[in-house]
Structure 1
Amino acid sequence: MRSSASSRSAQDLVGHGARAWARAVGLAAMAVLMASCGSLEKDETAGMATDKLYEEARDDASNGNWDRAAKLYERVEARAAGTPLAQQATLDLAYAYYKGGEKAQAQSTIDRFIKLNPSSPAIDYAYYLQGLINFNENLGLLGSLAGQDLSERDQQASKDAYQSFRQLVTQFPQSRYASDAALRMNYIVNTLAQYEVHVARYYYKRRAYIAAANRAQQAVQEFQRSPAVEEALYIMAMSYDQLGLPQLRDDAQRVLVQNFPDSRFLKDGLVAAPKAWWQLW
């Protein structure tokens, strides 16, 4: 009896194993079929000439269909590797990512282009686009709703943008993009100065007078031609006054009066900015 039972048990195991194997094979076959169908869907442009594919990508970009345009530029870049068309596709791909809100992908794509094509005729545009990607960083929904000023955020993106524009203006002063880059550089400098003053004001209002004076002094030294210097000098004078340093206070106030004789800060002091709707303090 035991022998018979063992035999049946072995047969059942074999049968179960065979059925399991059959199911596994069936599932694998289905997976291969589905993958094939998926690849057929993804490869809808397989028979299209590369130049025609590029034209279609540009049409999508012109119509604002940035996601599809990016996918098509990726294929052009792969098919035309090592050609001028591939380089152009890379530039267009970075721009499509940028316009589609894919900042990280746009940045990595343009960085890759600059690294691989330092002598490209379009390198000036590459630097311009590299700066533009950081310059136009989106504040996001909360920033927009709260009315957050650009000068109140971390300025690393602005600093990166400034370096890209500076490289363009320095190396290619005759570039068609140089004048616009220079204007953006001026804007960035003013923004960076405003950021330093914003921090100095923050410290001053919290009675951290040494930190306030140091941050205001940094703004004055680094951004001498920025309008934000007016408030920076006033914060310096007031901070030194609170610290009991009359000579430094008088020096800062004298420079303020000489450069901004009609300064509103001398009349009104630090006027508190209106609070955003979400601020409870």
Structure 2
Amino acid sequence: MTRFLAILLLIGLLAGCAGNTQTSNRLDNAEAAALYEAASEAAGRNDWQTAISELESLQAQYPFGLYATQAQLDIIHAYFQAGEVASTVAAAERFRRINPRHRAVPYSWYMQGLALEEKNRGPVKDWVGINDVLRDPVPRRQAFAAYTTLVEDYPDSEYTDMARGRLDVLYAEGAEFQLSVARFYADRDAWVAAARRAITVIEAFEGTAAVKPATDLLGTAYQRLGLDALADGVRTAQRETDRDAGDRIPDTPTLYEEETMEVPPAPTSEGPSGGSGGMGGPMGGGL
């Protein structure tokens, strides 16, 4: 009889523990939901700093809860909107480390590329009129690498076409940057350096609008260096190229037109949802 009572007591204790665990989980989910709702409301009014604060608290307190993955995605978008480039890149990399096979991984690569492009922008630089293509080329190369990874590894992603568009812009920017450096050397009569940069444009950025002025500059550089035969060869080749192309002036690339980057909202944690975005709960919804 004593043994029977002991068994009943043990069963009761186990049942009590299970009940307490379920109650605790429900409370945790409710608190996480409240934090997520606060973040969603802040994002809805473009209060990105508050949204970031709430999402950071959610991730710190409930890293494995129902809202964890969605918060990891939404905070990438929130950091970007707040202009926090380094945090955007870090959040994108963290998402991939935690969720390497998630369907939203292409989104993280796209946002990382956008953030790296934004690294060269800023209100002060825009106010003083600094040309984007003349700024630090390192973030541009890093953005190019991020977009390339997306295009090559996730060709069927809904973000791939947008990434290809950004690659075209970055390619044109790279050509223009090299041409600007060549002109910098030419203005200072550093003709050997100018010729080398012009050759870089011609060989590495074929098809861009910078090739023709780079070719003209190369001919001038050779002439100034006393290399008349090479200068004549460059000009002859340029005339043949112009004739083959029907003397058509290259179209102005998108880079030099009014253009904006398409910044998608965070997809739901169930995967990209055709643009509806996160901030609506872990199972879907939109801003």
For this structure pair, what is the TM-score category when the shorter chain's length is used for normalisation?
A: 0.7 to 0.9
Select the residue among 137, 146, 166 that pairs with 1:155: 137
Select the residue among 185, 194, 208 that pairs with 1:203: 185
Contact 1:61/1:69 (8 A) holds in 2? yes
Q: How many residues align?
A: 219
Contact 2:76/2:92 (8 A) holds in 1? yes
Higher relative helix content:
1
Question: Quick one: structure 1 residues 189 and 73, their matched pair in 2 at CA, closer, same or farther if it must change by over 3 Å?
Answer: same
Q: TM-score, normalised by structure 2?
A: 0.71
Contact 1:193/1:219 (8 A) holds in 2? yes
In the alignment, which residue of structure 1 is the partner of 2:39?
57
Deviation at 1:263, TM superposition (A): 6.6
Distance 1:263 1:243 in 2: 29
Residue 128 in structure 1 maps to residue 96 in structure 2? no
Select the residue among 179, 201, 207 that pairs with 1:225: 207
Residue 237 in structure 1 maps to residue 219 in structure 2? yes
In the alignment, which residue of structure 1 is the partner of 2:87?
105
In the alignment, which residue of structure 2 is the partner of 1:30?
none
Letter in 2 for 1:173: P
Residue 71 in structure 1 maps to residue 53 in structure 2? yes
Deviation at 1:196, TM superposition (A): 0.1
Unaligned ranges ≥5, structure 1: 1-45, 265-281
Unaligned ranges ≥5, structure 2: 1-27, 251-287
Distance 2:140 2:95 in 1: 21
Q: TM-score, normalised by structure 1?
A: 0.72
Distance 1:191 1:198 in 2: 10
| 1:87-131 CA-partner distances (Å, limit 9, x unpaired) | 221121122111111112222221222233221111010101111
Contact 1:78/1:86 (8 A) holds in 2? no
In the alignment, which residue of structure 2 is the partner of 1:117?
99
Contact 2:48/2:81 (8 A) holds in 1? yes
Deviation at 1:62, TM superposition (A): 1.9
Distance 2:205 2:233 in 1: 18
Question: Quick one: structure 1 residues 81 and 142, their matched pair in 2 at CA, closer, same or farther if it must change by over 3 Å?
Answer: closer
Larger RCO, structure (CA 8 Å, separation 6 or more):
2
Distance 1:211 1:181 in 2: 33
What is the CA RMSD across the aligned residues, in angstroms? 2.1
Distance 2:138 2:119 in 1: 11
Distance 1:241 1:248 in 2: 8
Letter in 2 for 1:233: T
Distance 1:91 1:198 in 2: 38
Deviation at 1:48, TM superposition (A): 5.3
Letter in 2 for 1:80: Y
Contact 2:85/2:118 (8 A) holds in 1? no
Question: Quick one: structure 1 residues 242 and 87, their matched pair in 2 at CA, closer, same or farther if it must change by over 3 Å?
Answer: same
Distance 2:133 2:72 in 1: 32
Secondary structure in structure 2 of the residue aligned to 1:49: helix
Contact 1:131/1:161 (8 A) holds in 2? yes
Distance 2:32 2:249 in 1: 62
Question: Quick one: structure 1 residues 54 and 255, their matched pair in 2 at CA, closer, same or farther if it must change by over 3 Å?
Answer: farther
Runs of 4+ in 1 over 4 A off after TM superposition: none
Question: Quick one: structure 1 residues 263 and 126, their matched pair in 2 at CA, closer, same or farther if it must change by over 3 Å?
Answer: closer
State the structure with more CA Rg. Answer: 1
Deviation at 1:230, TM superposition (A): 1.1
Select the residue among 88, 92, 96 that pairs with 2:70: 88
